[in-house]
Amino acid sequence: MTKIVSKVSGIFIPVTDMRRSAEWYIRVFELEIIEQSEGCTGLAFPGEATILNLWKVDRPQPTQFEAAGGRKIPYYNFESFDIELSHAFLKEKGVEVIPIVNDNGGVRYFECLDLDGNLIGIVEELPSSIYYPHKQKYRRD
């Protein structure tokens, strides 16, 4: 059977200052530059296929939604295999981070904000997570 689609190709993040934001994402998440222009900058995690496209906007745009109960959920998460290390690393780089949350569903996560206030989720699946076996197939240390 032929696959219609195979993975998420890109994540689009609205930014108001392309140069400043591109420098921040590269420094904070150690991303590679794929393409750079005034309207869009394509970045990637080294060795990964998914592209982060920073798109120039005139004013900040929402990158989260409100779930039932009022919790704000980012539209995308970045994966971590060591949430404590990821949290400490980002905090050391001066990124605004919330404390780590231990979810009863088998995940640990925290959120951070980029320079435009975009909410970015960082998540680690624990062995008790329903998603853990799937994620481990793609783990590269």
Do residue 93 and residue 28 come from a single domain?
Answer: no
Residue 10: CATH number of its domain: 3.10.180.10
Q: How far apart are CA 110 and CA 102, in angstroms?
A: 9
Encode pLDDT of 29-60 as tens digits.
999 999 999 999 999 999 888 999 999 999 99
Provide the pLDDT confidence category of residue 1 given band limits of 50, 70 and 90. Answer: low
Spell out the long-range contacts of 125-133 with Cβ–Cβ below 8 A and sequence spacing 24 or more. 125/79, 129/105, 130/105, 130/106, 131/106, 131/107, 132/106
| Domain match, 54 and 82 both | no
Residue 113 confidence class, pLDDT cut points 50, 70, 90? very high
Percent of the chain residues topping a pLDDT of 70: 99
Decide if pLDDT at 131 tops 90: no
Same domain flag for 79 and 35: no
